Structure 1
Amino acid sequence: MRLDPLTLVRLRTIGWPDDAWAEEALRAAPRGRLARVVEQHRSGYVVSVGEGEEFRAQAPAAWLRPRFPPEQRACVGDWVVLDDEADEILALLPRRSLLKRGAAGEHYRQQLIAANIDYVLVVCGLDHDFNPRRLERYLVLVQGSGATPVLVLTKADLCQDLEPVTEALADILALGVQAHPVNAKDPASVAVLDRYLQPGRSVVLVGSSGAGKSTLTNTLLGVEKMKTGEVRARDSRGRHTTTWRALIPLPQGGCLIDTPGMRELKLTGEERLDAGAFADIEALAASCRFNDCGHRREPGCAVRAALEAGTLDADHYANYLKLRDELAAAAGQLAARLADKAEAKVMGKALDKRLKEKYGRR
């Protein structure tokens, strides 16, 4: 596929990048119109071919089948190719990044949050919402997405002393993760985020209800576009004022995806603890005398030594153990699901072969 200069300018307003990935994606794309998914609903998709040029698009028939893998369907942020004559999606372009989580419920399923993003802005309020352990969980999910995590600490105007916050986030900041305390209602304060919002870049806002995502979005836009709500005084939790994911072009030139508040952050089983908020513990474990050290009473345990010396935070380590067990369980569910799919595929091929042998080719 080739794009003329005017089309490229229009696509640039909705986050089309100018890099090697974009060139490779265009070379592999079939003929048609390039568009980006800006909203996803149960009834279908809303796509855009440029700022202010949005319309509904029909999903391929295969995507509507109950057993079609959800990760192969488009989500907000995806680039798709449309039919030249009809507003129908023909193909999904390869993703440069994908943020997802385990869906709520007993059965294993992945929920896609946003695709083709450069930064994940993890929004956390400096009130009762502040929870370093939950931020560690976010970072585990984000590190596996291919995007860069950034902490946005809202309600900084309510926090008189930021030193305890810095101390609580020491393990995270040591990984090189950027953190920005802001007053989400103050344009001058949130201007520190402009570096992440330049043309061709896309960011997604994630965080719990009441953290200030919608307020932050309104301030970045310069207009009251997103609904905002009051939070409960006892726990700083709010209602879901954002009810679906939507991609919004920003005056800074980049694009922002706002998401509903997340109260459950299940792992998918594909994450790695040594690449996220627990890289320090994984590095310590590699120094233990025994490769299979359980970090309990084994001699030469570097993790236990760090805990006893006070150089490893006990709460940080306890959260690591919790997520390690959860990750192992999710990985087991994922493996079982993949095995079931492989078995079903083999049985389907065998059945098709028997039918052809019995009734001949049609």
Structure 2
Amino acid sequence: MSTESEPIEPESSHAAPSSTDPTAADRYAALRIIGWPDDEELRLAAGDARIARVIGQHRSGFDVAEFAGDQRRVQPPAAWTRPRGDPTERAVVGDWVALDAEGKNIARLLPRKALLKRGAAGEHYRQQLIAANIDHVLVVSGLDADFNPRRIERYLLIIQASGAAPVLVLTKADQCDILDDVLEVLENERLTGIPVYPVNAKDAASLVVLHPYLGPGKSAVLVGSSGAGKSTLTNTLLGTQKMKTNEVRANDQRGRHTTTNRVLIPLPQGGCLIDTPGMRELKLSGEEDLADGGFDDIEALAGNCRFSDCGHSNEPGCAVRAAIESGELDDVRYASYCKLRDERDAAAVTLAQRRAEDKVLNKALNKRLKDKYGRR
């Protein structure tokens, strides 16, 4: 698997800041091109530090940029290299960081506006960070065999916990003969308030509807399964074939991994886009809220049951069962809710246990260090 990201190419109208003590205005103007928001709180947190954005992540360090066209490998603080350290305290693509005076090492992480994460694939629970400091998450789903309302439901639940806003992008709309039926299905899935855009990812005119989410100072991340059209969409927005693409397999319409690592790319529209590898397994992190994730109606029904500990099976006075029997609540959607709720609760318990273990280990490590080197 490749671990190298492509360098950010400067736009012709984007000049790098002067290398001879650039003014604060120059520095922020250069950072604006790579997504720096007009945020006074973030400026205060940065102070006089040398600021850069993480555009690539590798085992040997991080790639950062201080302006469009810049890319350099820097080293993380020692604390980030500890295997059991809290992953949320390390940088991820999209993060803003303060560098040392030489620009060779990350001194500290700046406050985040949003953080998208999931439970990492595999048997052992751990959190995997996907992207930080994003305004919108573009959930890309192909209108072919890739379309899966249950997976979309799962994406939206994870995005709800991130602090970013979801946007559903349905690619291959030009090849779909049942678009109205698909939109009706999504309406029944209670996607009220979530923008839904059927598009042709190869047609720049079709993607104009996404430009409001990709303007100056804005950052978005693309998520979706392999073959959904994320790289094609990125290329069309860029106006050039920057990202490698592959056709989906004819036998099952599944895609191949063409993007192998997360990469941040400035767009002609003025904002930044983070492309990500396809996600075949999408596990919850344990920090999701089902009520805010599109299941507020089911949570409200559960609150009307006769018994507070109702299991919604055969208990008398169960409002959830009554809604299913009357047709008010779809039993398939309720089954999905139960599956997600149980997975979220199990992940939350494991997360709490791991944090407690890490706290004990860190306390023991600090004690050993103090015993060895003394107190300062």
Q: TM-score when scaled to structure 2? A: 0.90
Q: Contact between 1:30 and 1:91, CA under 8 Å: does it hold in 2?
A: no
The AA in structure 1 aligned to 2:130 is: I
Tell me, yes or no, if structure 1 residue 16 matches structure 2 residue 42: no
Q: What is the letter of the counterpart of residue 301 of structure 1?
A: C
Contact 1:76–1:114 at 8 Å: present in 2 too? yes
Aligned to 1:5: 25
Q: Which residue of 2 aligns with 1:225?
A: 242
Alignment CA distance shift 1:338-1:195 (3 Å): same
Residue 3 of structure 1: CA displacement? 6.5
Residues 348 and 240 (structure 1), Cα distance of their counterparts in 2 relative to 1, 3 Å cut:
same
Unaligned runs of 5+ in 2: 1-21
Question: Which one of 115, 119, 125 corresponds to residue 136 of structure 2?
Answer: 119
- Report the CA distance between 1:293 and its aligned residue: 1.5
**Does 1:300 find its partner at 2:289?**
no
Task: Work out whether residues 114 and 204 of structure 1, in 8 Å CA contact, stay in contact via their aligned partners in 2.
Answer: yes
Distance 1:350 1:34 in 2: 34
1:86 CA displacement: 3.4
Trace 1:188-207 onto structure 2 (pairs within 5 A): 188-207=205-224
* Secondary structure of residue in 1 paired with 2:294: coil
Q: CA deviation at 1:198?
A: 1.0
2:295 equivalent among 278, 282, 289: 278
C-alpha distance in structure 2 between counterparts of 1:266 and 1:159, whole Å: 29
1:79 pairs, out of 96, 109, 121, with 96
Q: Secondary structure at the match of 2:141?
A: strand
Number of aligned residues: 355
Structural mapping, 1:1-362, within 5 Å: 4-18=24-38, 22-29=39-46, 31-348=48-365, 351=368, 355=371
Determine if contact 1:46/1:56 at 8 Å carries over to the other structure: yes
CA contact (8 A) 1:51 1:249 kept: yes
- Cα shift at 1:195: 1.1
Root mean square deviation of aligned Cα = 1.9
The farther-off stretch of 46-55 and 261-270 is 46-55
CA contact (8 A) 1:202 1:255 kept: yes
CA contact (8 A) 1:129 1:235 kept: no
Residues 352 and 254 of structure 1: CA distance in aligned 2, closer, same or farther (over 3 Å): closer
Distance change (3 Å), C-alpha of 1:140 and 1:3 = farther
For residue 71 of structure 1, report the CA deviation from its aligned partner: 1.7
TM-score, normalization by structure 1: 0.93
Distance 1:107 1:217 in 2: 33
Q: Could you tell me which amino acid in structure 1 is paired with residue 312 of structure 2?
A: H
- Which stretch shifts more, 147-156 or 323-332? 323-332
Query: Could you say what secondary structure the match of 1:85 adopts?
Result: coil
Shift of 1:338: 1.3
**CA displacement, residues 33-81 of structure 1 (integer Å, 9 cap, x when unaligned):** 1110011122211111111122222212222232332221100000001
Question: Displacement of 1:300 after TM fit?
Answer: 2.3
Look up the equivalent residue of 2:29 and give its one-letter code: V
Q: Is the 8 A contact 2:50 2:103 kept in 1?
A: no
The one-letter code sitting in structure 2 at the alignment partner of 1:246 is V
Distance 2:120 2:56 in 1: 19
Letter in 2 for 1:27: L
Structure 1 distance, partners of 2:92, 2:252, is: 32
Q: Is the 8 A contact 2:100 2:107 kept in 1?
A: yes
**How far did residue 327 of structure 1 move?**
0.9
Identity of aligned residues (%): 65
Contact 1:173/1:179 (<8 A) preserved: no
Deviation at 1:29, TM superposition (A): 2.7
Structure 1: unaligned runs, 5 residues or longer: none
* Residues in 2 aligned to 1:360 and 1:350: alpha-carbon distance in whole angstroms: 10
